[in-house]
Chain A
Amino acid sequence: MDFTDDQVMRYSRHIILPEVGGKGQEKIAQAKVFIIGAGGLGCPVGFYLTAAGVGTIAMIDDDVVEMSNLQRQIAHRVDTIGMPKVESARNTFQALNPDVNIIALKQRISNHDILDLIKDYDVVVDGSDNFPTRYLVNDACVMSRKPLVSGAILRFEGQVTTIIPGEGPCYRCLFEEPPPAGLVPSCQEAGVLGVLPGVIGGLQATEVLKIILKKGELLTGELLIYSALKTTFRKVKVPKNASCPVCGNTPTITELIDYDEDYCSLR
């Protein structure tokens, strides 16, 4: 790849790194990443991957920007309130780095279209805020063997794990079924520290770049738990479950499930 003078300057701190270099930067430029959600997690993930020069970034989200989002969803602004979040984020990211092709999908992802939507992408990032989507994305990534970087946040605590189908465990190896509707509170009910998605989204973006570069050690088979109040990072080993309903030896889930819409009231 022939870098323009601007690109040499823009990516100079990457190119200097032995683990990246011009060749790694080229891999980043050719990569296609699909981000689920343009909210707390999707904003920092998209922001850093845009800055890093990822070639194509798709974001899917059905919501519009609200004032209450601005405490943590850093791609949105007062003057984009009322605008679809994916458009608001696309504006921000394009202003940061015009090299990046940002695809904004204002829709709710479903079991009917997810496989088709993610099929041309190298990595999927889950920044969703609800269990039906979280399980749908996991199952779709396992079925289509896509690397998935999953993140979650609530109050002062966040979690990250990287799922490499065929190599390590999936989300269902960890939690086989979604919790009953209403059991786990949403951010809306329980609150979330505004900085927390920045930490967790930053970790997710780091995992994505390592997958693209094929460098370092991924959070495969491990759940990283960050406590903002205690300032601690804990890693919990997650074994692959041989009887996992989606990635086990004899899967019982062979078609994508659309969990009860009741869940959506929790968003």
Chain B
Amino acid sequence: MHDPVMEEKDRGRCSMEKNIVHKHINIKGLVCPYTFVKSKLAIEGMEIGQVLEILLDSEEASNNIPKSMVDHGQTVLSVEKINDTDWLLLVRKEKE
């Protein structure tokens, strides 16, 4: 299945090392839509160009948050499954 988010991830990967994470949130245990609500609130409080790191354990959110972030004009730098249960997302703020 064509997945634009995975393309974003591939593009973001090479720059991932260089990305400084400005804020980290742990939303493990939350379900949709609160996963995105919490992520959106976090990114609203940041400056344009800063990077938010999101730790989560919902597979649905690992798909939905990147899509919603792109819809809201932000850039998804990476979506990484880091172990059996968790994902780590990197999102760069592009607009208020």
Residues of A within 8 A of B (CB): 3, 8-9, 12-13, 15-16, 18, 21-23
Interface pair B36/A22, CB less than 8 Å apart: no
Chain B residues within 8 Å of A12, by CB: 33-34, 37
Tally the A-B contacts, defined by beta carbons under 8 Å: 28
Q: Is B44 positioned at the interface, with any CB of A under 8 Å from its CB?
A: yes
Interface pair A8/B34, CB less than 8 Å apart: yes
Interface pair B72/A15, CB less than 8 Å apart: no
Interface pair B44/A23, CB less than 8 Å apart: yes
**A21 and B45 alpha carbons, distance in the complex (Å):** 11
Q: Is B11 positioned at the interface, with any CB of A under 8 Å from its CB?
A: no
Distance in Å: Cβ of A53 to nearest Cβ of chain B: 14
Interface pair B34/A9, CB less than 8 Å apart: yes
Contacts A8-B41, A16-B68 aside, 12 further interface pairs with beta carbons under 8 A come to A8-B37, A8-B38, A9-B34, A12-B33, A12-B34, A15-B40, A15-B41, A18-B72, A21-B44, A22-B40, A22-B41, A22-B45
**A21 and B33 alpha carbons, distance in the complex (Å):** 13
**A13 and B38 alpha carbons, distance in the complex (Å):** 12
Chain B residues within 8 Å of A15, by CB: 37, 40-41
5 cross-chain pairs, A with B, having the tightest CB-CB distances, nearest first: A22-B41, A12-B37, A22-B44, A15-B37, A12-B33
Chain A residues within 8 Å of B34, by CB: 8-9, 12
**A13 and B72 alpha carbons, distance in the complex (Å):** 15
Distance in Å: Cβ of B46 to nearest Cβ of chain A: 12
Chain A residues within 8 Å of B44, by CB: 21-23
With CB as the reference atom, state the residue of chain B lying closest to A13.
Answer: B33
Distance in Å: Cβ of B44 to nearest Cβ of chain A: 5
Residues of B within 8 A of A (CB): 33-34, 36-38, 40-41, 44-45, 68, 71-72, 96
Interface pair A16/B40, CB less than 8 Å apart: yes
**A16 and B37 alpha carbons, distance in the complex (Å):** 6
Q: List 28 A-B contacts (CB under 8 A).
A: A3-B41, A8-B34, A8-B37, A8-B38, A8-B41, A9-B34, A12-B33, A12-B34, A12-B37, A13-B33, A15-B37, A15-B40, A15-B41, A16-B33, A16-B36, A16-B37, A16-B40, A16-B68, A18-B71, A18-B72, A21-B40, A21-B44, A22-B40, A22-B41, A22-B44, A22-B45, A23-B44, A23-B96
**A9 and B37 alpha carbons, distance in the complex (Å):** 9
Chain A residues within 8 Å of B96, by CB: 23
Distance in Å: Cβ of A1 to nearest Cβ of chain B: 10
With CB as the reference atom, state the residue of chain B lying closest to A21.
Answer: B44
Chain B residues within 8 Å of A3, by CB: 41
Chain B residues within 8 Å of A8, by CB: 34, 37-38, 41
Chain A residues within 8 Å of B71, by CB: 18
Chain A residues within 8 Å of B36, by CB: 16
**A252 and B41 alpha carbons, distance in the complex (Å):** 50
Distance in Å: Cβ of A215 to nearest Cβ of chain B: 13
**A220 and B45 alpha carbons, distance in the complex (Å):** 33
With CB as the reference atom, state the residue of chain B lying closest to A25.
Answer: B41
Chain A residues within 8 Å of B45, by CB: 22
Chain B residues within 8 Å of A23, by CB: 44, 96
**A16 and B67 alpha carbons, distance in the complex (Å):** 13
Chain B residues within 8 Å of A9, by CB: 34
**A12 and B72 alpha carbons, distance in the complex (Å):** 15
Chain B residues within 8 Å of A22, by CB: 40-41, 44-45
